[in-house]
Each structure stands twice: as structure tokens, then as C-alpha cells.
Amino acid sequence: MALIFHLSSNSNPLPLLTENVWDKALHCIEYGGLAWLLCRALIGEGLGWAPALLLALMAASAYGATDEWHQLYTPGRSADFHDWMADTLGATLGLGAYALMASAGLTLSPRPETKQTSV
């Protein structure tokens, strides 16, 4: 979240990248990664799959909305409803990819701590 905030605080972040890549794709990548990490953290804290997916989606989308609001006050930037929709779509796609990988048997959640017995 700090990286997203930092990038959105700049008038022209990463100009070589933003000039050559569609900005909606960048939004999808950023917020897909954010939602992925949020979901992983929530599952690691013991939340079930469905609540973790829903809460991660809601949190990423809400953060996207506040990020657009923040850009109203950044010189050279503006708030855009379509950017927020790209954020939410990216979060949805990121969570879908996370769920697909988990259903394929890949270990995506933090491993629970194992208790060691002393002899």
C-alpha cells in the first residue's frame, strides 16, 4: 500500500513505463498484487477462504477509491472513476488467480508454526 501511495503522490511516476503501457493495465497489476497479498495475510491469520477473498476484494477496492481521492490533491493528477474500476477489476483477477493456484494444490498460505518438543 505504501508503494501505491508513493507512486500516486508523484505527478508523473515512472514516465518510461507509463508512456508505453496502458494505465488501466498498470492499475490491474498493482491492485491484483495488493488483493493477493491481503488475501494471503487474512488466510494466514486464520480467516476462511470465502471471508478472506471477500474482505481482500473490499479492502483493495476501497483503497483504490481513496487513492483516486488522494490524486485530486496531487499536482498533475486527477481522480478517474475508470481507474478505480480498473483497480477493482485487478483485485478481482488477482484473487481469482490466487484461488486457482490454491485449488491446483500450490502452497500459497503461510505455513502454521510447528510445535517442537524438547527432549
Distance (Å, whole) CA 67 – CA 91: 14
Q: Is residue 118 part of a domain?
A: no
Query: How many domains, the chain?
Result: 1
Q: What is the pTM of this model?
A: 0.78
List average pLDDT for each run of 10 residues in the chain, which is 119 residues long. 68 67 85 95 93 97 93 86 95 95 74 50
Q: Is residue 34 part of a domain?
A: yes
> Nearest to residue 39, comparing CAs of 95, 106, 110?
95
Q: Is residue 7 part of a domain?
A: no
Provide the residue range defining the domain that includes 63.
22-103
Residue where the block lists cell 483503497? 63
pLDDT given at position 106: 81
The b-or-e profile of 5-44 (16+ CB within 10 A means b, else e) is eeebeeeeeeeeeeeeeeebebbbebbbbbbbebbbebbe
pLDDT given at position 74: 85
Q: Is residue 49 part of a domain?
A: yes
pLDDT given at position 10: 66
Distance (Å, whole) CA 67 – CA 113: 36
Residue 117, all three cell numbers: 518438543
Q: Is residue 51 part of a domain?
A: yes
Q: Is residue 10 part of a domain?
A: no
Q: Is residue 73 part of a domain?
A: yes
Q: Is residue 110 part of a domain?
A: no
pLDDT given at position 79: 85
